[in-house]
Amino acid sequence: MPTPNVPPLARGYQLQNYTIAKLLSAGGFSIVYLAHDENDYPVAIKEYLPNSLELRRENNALVQATNENNSIMFKHGLKCFFEEGKTLARIRHPNIVRVINFFRANETVYMVMEYERGRTLQKEIQLKRDREGVSEKLIRHVFLQVLNGLREVHLHKLLHLDVKPANIYIRKDMTPLLLDFGSARQALTGEHSRLAPMYTPGFAAPEQYRRQEPLGPWTDIYGIGASMYACIAGCSPPSAEQREKDPQPLNLHSLFGDRYSPELLDIIEYCLQLEHEKRPQSVHQLQKALQEPASPPRKKGSVLHAIKRKWFGFTRMSNQQQTE
């Protein structure tokens, strides 16, 4: 976990009726804490804190603007974050993180969410990386349910804009939960172009880089495709910016056709089209494709598979010999 640039709230700090227990995560836009309410019920609290605009002095909880211009930008983002919290608080869906409270304090805004036990899809990918990737069965199971939640979000006229494995949480019962919406981040950087864009390369759609193109459900669908790609490849696809400069085919069928159905690989390539009009235009359209029957993967005895095994086996052997 990266160290936050701005000091987090101290353990034991009392924030209304919540007591901060520890830091869970930190990014350029917010800090997330584990806390407990007055009944010792665990919650996750997200603090709006874009560290390029604001600062917090050591031993002081108050958030202060670094200058007057940053104060204007901070307040715009704060308004978007607050509106996002209000919208999310109205959504009750098993695959969307539940917002149970949001309030102003310390000159910023806090969003209180239910705390769930489990691990992120990113962690699952890391665990399966050396075992031929995440299984197709699990990919279909997770993403069909994530899409159920995303469809509900889109019905509320909200976009996620930061779909990636780190923001897909797998509960203990293997049901997924969509976390950490990026709508307020996008609004902040879109309104004030001199701010550094706040998106994740590899998972962000091309239109998130350019800003003049319309954002829509197809933007989140690119993130879904990139997240499925990460499940099979163990890493994100090249960034959209890089792909546009050097438009090489993804070659998913030749690289992964011996482990995954051609239908799943087609779906991933469909979602990762650089032109947004060529992607699925709605979650429902993508769900229908994922629910279609799948053909078996190409047989492992194929010539291509044998070449891959020979090459990668040689590479591993060479690396081992070099370290001996």
Q: Which of 96, 114, 132 is the last residue of a domain?
A: 114
pLDDT of res. 307: 39
**Average pLDDT rounded to a whole number, residues 215-238:** 95
> Cα–Cα–Cα angle for 204, 123, 101, nearest 5°?
70
Q: What are phi and psi of 296, to 5 degrees?
A: -70, 155
Q: Which residues contact 68 (CB under 8 A, 6 or more apart)?
A: none
- The pLDDT > 90 percentage for the chain reads 55
Please check whether residues 132 and 188 belong to one and the same domain. Answer: yes
pLDDT of res. 183: 57
Longest dimension (CA), the chain: 66
pLDDT of res. 47: 92
What is the CATH number for 161?
1.10.510.10
Please check whether residues 167 and 273 belong to one and the same domain. Answer: yes
pLDDT of res. 182: 65
Residue 174 falls inside a structural domain: yes
Please check whether residues 88 and 125 belong to one and the same domain. Answer: no
Output 25 or 284, whichever has higher pLDDT.
Answer: 284
pLDDT of res. 151: 95
Q: Which of 114, 139, 154 is the last residue of a domain?
A: 114
Please check whether residues 133 and 227 belong to one and the same domain. Answer: yes
Res. 2: pLDDT tops 90? no
Decide if 85 contacts 109 (C-beta within 8 A): yes
Query: With bands split at pLDDT 50, 70 and 90, how would you rate the model's confidence at 304?
Result: very low
Please check whether residues 240 and 101 belong to one and the same domain. Answer: no
Query: With bands split at pLDDT 50, 70 and 90, how would you rate the model's confidence at 189?
Result: very low
Q: Which of 79, 114, 149 is the last residue of a domain?
A: 114
What is the CATH number for 79?
3.30.200.20
- pTM confidence score: 0.82
Please check whether residues 39 and 149 belong to one and the same domain. Answer: no
Please check whether residues 166 and 260 belong to one and the same domain. Answer: yes
pLDDT of res. 194: 42
Residue 316 falls inside a structural domain: no
What is the average pLDDT value for the chain, to the nearest integer?
A: 83
pLDDT of res. 49: 85
Residue 41 falls inside a structural domain: yes
How many structural domains does the chain have?
2
Count CA within 13 A, CB hemisphere, residue 307. 5
Please check whether residues 87 and 146 belong to one and the same domain. Answer: no
Please check whether residues 100 and 137 belong to one and the same domain. Answer: no
Query: With bands split at pLDDT 50, 70 and 90, how would you rate the model's confidence at 112?
Result: very high
**Average pLDDT rounded to a whole number, residues 232-245:** 94
Chain segment 52-70, per-residue pLDDT in tens = 776 776 667 888 777 777 7
Residue 319 falls inside a structural domain: no
Q: What are phi and psi of 200, to 5 degrees?
A: -105, 110
Residue 313 falls inside a structural domain: no
Residue with tokens 């087609």: 266
Residue 320 falls inside a structural domain: no
Chain segment 66-108, per-residue pLDDT in tens = 777 778 778 877 887 887 788 888 889 999 999 999 899 998 8
Please check whether residues 92 and 235 belong to one and the same domain. Answer: no
Please check whether residues 145 and 175 belong to one and the same domain. Answer: yes
Domain range for 77 is: 16-114
Residue 305 falls inside a structural domain: no
Length of the chain: 324
Residue 314 falls inside a structural domain: no
Please check whether residues 169 and 219 belong to one and the same domain. Answer: yes
